[in-house]
A and B are shown apart, each in its own frame.
Chain A
Amino acid sequence: MPGVIEASDLTKIFGGITAVDHISFDVHEGEIFGFLGPNGAGKTTTTRMLTGIIPMDGGSVTIFGHNMGRDPVLAKQRFGIVPETSNAYVDLTAWQNLMLMAELYGLDRDRAAQRSLDLLETLGLSERRDQKVQGYSKGMKQRLILAMALLHEPELLFLDEPTSGLDVQSTRMILSMLRALNTDGTTIFLTTHNMEEANRLCDRVGIIREGRIVAIDAPEKLKAAIDRLHQIEVSFDGEIPAEELVSLDGITGAERRGDKWQITADNPDQAIRSLVSFSGRHGAAILFLHTLAPSLDDVFLRLTGEERP
């Protein structure tokens, strides 16, 4: 697949401190790419370089083949951006903000008006379109920012914590719109702290730590990669021989915790099959069996060196 975003050896240095340290990655056409990392890891700096807001000190970025250093206007024409903090003009109305964006992206008047009407309707802002943005709630401002980013129908959308601090209604509206956009072919670059959001939305995630990419893969593959040994909780309706349990295929350890056994498995599939036949042999029915796969939270904490307390 062609790279919609191609970042190569991207570097940023602030006052002698390397904030982004020679990172390289591609974002493929049609995917939702999650960009994760702890505070100060270099997420925002990277996103600002990708979007041409700040210049890079080394490396290169291309957006749809346009080099951000050489042809920033051509590159910027192809994407929309939703920053974490709303940056609509608060002294203008929603409609005026949208018309300003339309002019800055070169939309003709009729198309701009039609797109604006549609987006305001979809995002529930139609009735407030002629009100100055300073009277809007945080959720409304964020929805307007999304409308401003989508007005020129970009093929690529950058979002920085789009649902941070929003009410449930606005969050749901934005997430469902992102899914619909992606289904229609829009590539999405999503910076987020919300692991659940990244887990549910993203095809791949990149994790940055201290200015370096520490992992890029699909969330499920990352989860599988961090814990070679999986945990399984199982409970039987009678006593079973502990020493035999430990020696079953796929199982490397077993520890009793109340009425359950906490099983450590190097091959969870084999371990579950062994447990089922083991229960049959000993006439002890399985009351409960639960695989404890690592969450994306665990992946994040492991890879960023911030283990759970």
Chain B
Amino acid sequence: MNPAAVRTQVRRAWAIAKKDIRIYYFKGPVLIFGIFMPVFLFLAFSMGGRQLPLEFLLPGLMGMTLFFTSTAVSPAIFPWEGQAKTLERLAACPITIEAIVLGDMAASALFGIGVTAVTLLIALGLGLPLLHGIVLGSAVFLAAFCFSALGIILAAPPTNVPSNIMMLSSLLKFPLVFISGIFIPLEQLPAWGMALAVCSPLTYLTDLVRYAFTGAHYFPVPIDIAALIAFTLLFTAGAMRLHRRSLPRRV
């Protein structure tokens, strides 16, 4: 066994993911935050005066749920572990920082996918037809990793105070929801809004989810998928690079 081999490191990343799920995700408040936050936002908009149709809002809710759940805990894991000194233990173990980040991403992505599956069941239960299941599955899988990596990037400042990171995380997450075509269709956005929307990975997920349920889309499906892949790779590489630099200042 070569401990530095990619296959071995991926196995060790999975050990990190299992540890994260056990410690950070299987907790009532985390599950409640992940589910209730998008539900309340959805209710606020669906009960408003805009009278948007359910087939428009429910795909948005799914996208938003995945976004919020995949970024709910991942920004706080590094600060928590830095504070508890467990990060120092991981840093002394034969696992690369890239594998630690990958493990954190996998846990966060699985949590996001799990909670989003609940909203999928709600959408199906409300009679929304699923037209393109494979597109939906691929989009959710890709976006879950993309958002998880984004969450981990947010944890890069070398502070061990989780509330600082969560504040930074909220500052970024909420505006993204409003520029990603969830509550306002992309075609209705002004030019500056559109310029912002194309910079948000959530835009492409929402477009794909809407396509999966209604067949309608703003960008071509391959463009949406390519954009999600590009964002995922960019965020993953960024998260690994940034944490390689910040880890020594955190332990």
Contact = CB atoms under 8 A, between A and B. Distances in A.
Interface residues of A, number: 29
Interface stretch (B11-19, B53-61, B203-211): B11-19
A77 interface: yes
Contacts of B164: none
B92 A104 contact: no
A101 B19 CA distance: 11
Nearest to B23: A91
A6 B95 CA distance: 22
Contacts of A87: 84-86, 88-89
A103 interface: yes
B91 A53 contact: yes
24 contacts: A48-B251, A52-B92, A53-B88, A55-B248, A72-B94, A73-B3, A73-B95, A74-B3, A76-B94, A81-B89, A81-B92, A83-B88, A87-B86, A87-B88, A88-B89, A89-B23, A90-B84, A91-B22, A92-B23, A100-B19, A105-B93, A106-B3, A106-B12, A106-B94
A74 to B, nearest CB: 6
Nearest to B100: A104
Contacts of A83: 85, 88-89
A106 B93 contact: no
Nearest to B95: A104
B96 interface: yes
B11 A106 contact: yes
B32 interface: no
A16 B251 CA distance: 19
Contacts of A176: none
A264 interface: no
Interface in B57-113: 84-86, 88-96
A54 B248 contact: yes
User: Which of A51, A106, A148 has the most chain B CB within a 10 Å cutoff?
Assistant: A106
A76 B92 contact: yes
A17 B116 CA distance: 51
- 6 closest pairs, A vs B, by CB? A103-B15, A87-B85, A76-B94, A73-B4, A77-B94, A54-B248
A38 to B, nearest CB: 22
Interface of B: 1, 3-4, 8-9, 11-12, 14-16, 18-19, 22-23, 84-86, 88-96, 248, 251
B106 to A, nearest CB: 14
Given A73-B96, A104-B12, A96 B4 contact: no
A74 B4 CA distance: 7
Contacts of B88: 53, 83, 87
Contacts of B23: 89, 91-92
Interface string A34-65: 00000000000000100111110000000000
B251 A103 contact: no
Contacts of B96: 72-73
Contacts of A48: 251
B89 A76 contact: no
A89 B3 contact: no
Contact of A51 (B3, B11, B92): B92
A74 B93 CA distance: 10
Interface in A205-255: none
Interface string A175-193: 0000000000000000000
Contact of B11 (A52, A85, A92, A103): A103
A77 B3 contact: yes
A71 interface: yes
A100 B4 contact: no
B61 to A, nearest CB: 31
B15 A104 contact: yes
B94 A89 contact: no
B92 A54 contact: no
Contact of A73 (B11, B85, B90, B94): B94
Nearest to A108: B1
